[in-house]
Amino acid sequence: MTRSEADALKTAVREQADTVETITSNFTQYKHLDFLSDAIESKGKLAFRAPDLVKWEYVTPFSYSIIFKNNTLYINDDGNKSTLDLGGNKIFTQLNQLITASIRGDLFDEKQFDISYFKEDGDSVVHFAPKDAQFAEFINAFHLTFNTSGDVIEVKMIEPSGDYTQIVFSGRKTNTPLSDAVFMQ
């Protein structure tokens, strides 16, 4: 991707992100491990409300949801509820920011990431490699795929081993009202 194409993408994504109040989407997650015959597939729903409320809800093949809210992680593991205070946990706080930013597409922080731009089948693919050594222990890079409208359609989280988790979004809806109840544990 040329420098001007990259700049145009950044602008389009930022403008898009600024207009987004809520997002709901289905997702399919594929966990790729090089030694497995098949990727481990799970499906669920995502809800986001600006500025930073996020709910990931896995529906199949297991029931599990996490909500990022007020610096706390609310976990519901098949009915077993627990919370995790993220206040003192830099990695989780950063992960939350990254998840929020990646859902909106707005990850373009050059202080935090080494960023590179690619074109694939008409879509734009941007690679974000964390500069923070502590974070890089978990994730080597995020690869975000944007469609021509600047929406994130796929997130790939690549681990230092090369194994990766691919999350493909579908049925994305923006700015439909989401009540507080959606983000209750």
* Tokens at 99, concatenated: 């998840």
**Contact status: 138 vs another protein (CB under 8 A):** yes
**Contact status: 77 vs another protein (CB under 8 A):** yes
C-alpha to C-alpha distance for 161 and 66, rounded to whole angstroms = 25
Q: What are phi and psi of 90, to 5 degrees?
A: -60, -40
- 147: closest CA among 127, 116, 107, 120? 120
**Contact status: 54 vs another protein (CB under 8 A):** no
C-alpha to C-alpha distance for 19 and 23, rounded to whole angstroms = 11
Of the pair 61, 177, the CB lying nearest another protein is at: 61
Residue 31 · residue 45 · CB < 8 Å: no
Tell me the closest approach of the beta carbon of residue 114 to another protein, in angstroms: 20
**Contact status: 83 vs another protein (CB under 8 A):** no
**Contact status: 40 vs another protein (CB under 8 A):** yes
Question: How many residues in the shown chain lie near another protein by CB under 8 A?
Answer: 29
Which of 11, 36, 170, 175 touches another protein (CB under 8 A)?
Answer: 36
**Contact status: 145 vs another protein (CB under 8 A):** no
Q: What DSSP line would sit under 49-111, residue for residue? A: ETTTEEEEEEEESS-EEEEEETTEEEEEETTEEEEEE-TT-HHHHHHHHHHHHHHHT----TT
**Contact status: 61 vs another protein (CB under 8 A):** yes
Contacts with another protein, residue ranges (CB under 8 A): 29, 31, 33, 35-38, 40, 42, 56, 58, 61-62, 64, 66, 77-78, 80, 82, 137-139, 157, 159-161, 163-165
